[in-house]
Homo-oligomer: A and B are copies of this chain.
Amino acid sequence: MLHIKIMSPSTTTPALAFRPLYKQVVGLITRSLEIGEWKPGVALPSEAELAVRYGVSQGTVRKAIDELVSANLLIRRQGKGTFVATHSDPDSFARFLCLAPNDGEPRPVSNVPLACWRAKAGADVARHLGLEPGALVIIVRRLLRIGEDPAAFDEIYLPGGLFSELTMDVLNSAESSLYSLFESRFGVRAIRANERLRAVSADKVSAEALQVAEGAPLLLAERVTFTYGDKPVEWRRGFYSTRNCHYHNELG
């Protein structure tokens, strides 16, 4: 495959049109990931092969891969190869769950689907998901247990177009995380998310689900999840009971 070293200096933005070669390679690799040329979990061609394919040096390919690794899209394993990141690999993709037990003891996390239905998107859900108001959305309620304790009660809004075959049966058949299910069953890969946290009082429904008193303080996490190209694919409101757990965050 050929590449274009000289950027056409767009007349509107004369000097800003410069785009380094390795950035172009980033774009090409990302595109291949997006269209599924390399599936989650499998190895990419070696750096040397990619260098030939894109007509650049190995160093340039390396720099491109560096960027995709730090964006968590790829994983390097020395001596083995470079792999497409996947939510099925617990090591690499438990990073969207920020809840941890207070005492530090690791506990099994279990996923309890409660309900799944269709509805028309309201104004705010449509806005977050980039849909027309009234578009079809799928709503999932689920409980997350950490050890024995109910820790999170989530209401999850998904674009109907991407998840049309999602049902309670599908949810119940999922052995691991939801994102892993989205990836393997619907080809939707969650890349990054923006989360907003607030403290609220438990309403009746969430109090019951989390087995706390109505009015008890809960952590409300509202999350928009994105896939390639910053396309939103999930809007989620999660109520977290922080009696035995906390939300952890690293600043730096």
* Chain A residues at the B interface, C-beta cutoff of 8 Å: 70-72, 95-96, 98, 191-201, 217-220, 223, 240, 242, 246-252
Chain B residues closer than 8 Å to A195, beta-carbon distance = 248-251
A241 to B247, CA, bound (A): 17
A218 to B193, CA, bound (A): 24
Most B CB within 10 A of own CB, among A70, A71, A199? A199
**Are the CB atoms of A198 and B251 closer together than 8 Å?**
no
A219 to B70, CA, bound (A): 31
**Are the CB atoms of A217 and B199 closer together than 8 Å?**
yes
**Are the CB atoms of B200 and A217 closer together than 8 Å?**
yes
User: Would you give the shortest CB distance from A132 to chain B, in whole angstroms?
Assistant: 23
Known pairs A217-B217, A218-B217, A219-B219; A251 contacts B197 (CB<8 A):
no
Closest to A226 in B: B252
Closest to A198 in B: B242
Chain B residues closer than 8 Å to A193, beta-carbon distance = 250-252
